[in-house]
Structure 1
Amino acid sequence: MNQYTTPIEATFAMQRTVLEQSQRAVEQGFDLQRNAGEMLLSGIESQETFQRQGVEAAETAVESYFEAMETATPAGTNVRAFRENADEGFDRLKELHAESFDQLEASVEEALDGHDELSEESVTAMDEGMDELFAAHEQLQEGTVEMVEQTATHNEEFAERFGSQLDEQAERMADIQEQFEAQSDRQLEQATEFQEQLQSQVERFQEQLEAQAEQFETQVSA
């Protein structure tokens, strides 16, 4: 190692660092998308529990009302028939509630499974390609250092030519760094878009569920 090979090895080391950072950025981008989906799925499950408890509380209140009515009204009135209709309505509402959330969760899980499959294939292909790239990179470094050690002289002409080559290499590294930053930004945008798509799906489902609840309330009131 001498004054000429030292900066060459440092340059190759910096290149490897950029490549490794780029590889990690891609993997982290996939992880970010997965985490966003899992957080949304967890929120759906919590929302299902909360809404189911609300339906059950309403059912309990209606049952208490009809029990009081049956006690206070003479035999032969239609209170029992009204109560049976309400019970059937609540049974149907709970059934629709469970079915709707099951469909939503299945849809989100399917999207996550598809994302996992694509991520796994992409990461595997990237890892294989990066392994080959690192191997070729190491061979290039060894060959370059060996060539410089064999041919280097301390004359001014070589120093100027070598300095110019290092400047060009630094410019290429700057370009690689810009590409890496752009790739990181794209990964973040993709993760945000993926989360927004799932959130939009949940909002549409929520609107449908609210419409079903309003329809049920109208039927009970009638």
Structure 2
Amino acid sequence: MIRVLVCDDQALIRAGFVTVFGLQPDLDVVGEASDGETAVREARRLQPDVVVMDIRMPLLDGIEATRRLAGPGVAAPIKVLVVTTFNLDKYVYEALRAGASGFLLKDAQPTELIEGIRTVARGESLLAPAVTRGLVGKFGDRVRPSTPGVSDRLAALTPREVEVFRLIAEGLSNAEIAGRLVIGQETVKTYVSRILTKLDLRDRVQAVILAYQTGLVTAQP
């Protein structure tokens, strides 16, 4: 069972999520929260597998709540899936940088949201290729290197791994990378795993952000 905590300040939306998730045999809603402070407190108490987090909430917004649950320095990060009404704006980007494993829009189909929770629970990021390109391409200027030597992190990668890393950052799926490089998908999965391990990254979301920080890829005008 995938244990889920639902966090949204709108009671009707929370009720809808709880109802939809409750119909799935592998999802178990273990709690709800109507504000960011409660979301953080309940997540720490209940230790869900996935927190479904809204961005705009009272007392503490979803970005800061995400940072406290999954951000840098958190000893035992909890996976956060941001579900927002804001399409590719600064709020979504900041939530990803705060540690969220991905995001969906609230107008997504129920099947998309359910599969999104499963994806995040498996430890994968939830950014469709087109969304990745749009999101980080639009806000790439916000993740320029903040300290000297950040590009040195790439020295640990082989030339082939750098090539795969660049394609990840461009938003290609494993299948698309396999087709581009004419290799098997299992081989691509192995490369992706090695890259995340060598660079000490949690998921593909962090990989995309790092690629922009190092200048490996740049935002399109």
Q: TM-score, normalised by structure 2?
A: 0.20
Q: TM-score, normalised by structure 1?
A: 0.20
- Of structures 1 and 2, the one scoring higher in RCO (CA 8 A, sep 6+) is 1
The structure in which a higher percent of residues are strand is 2
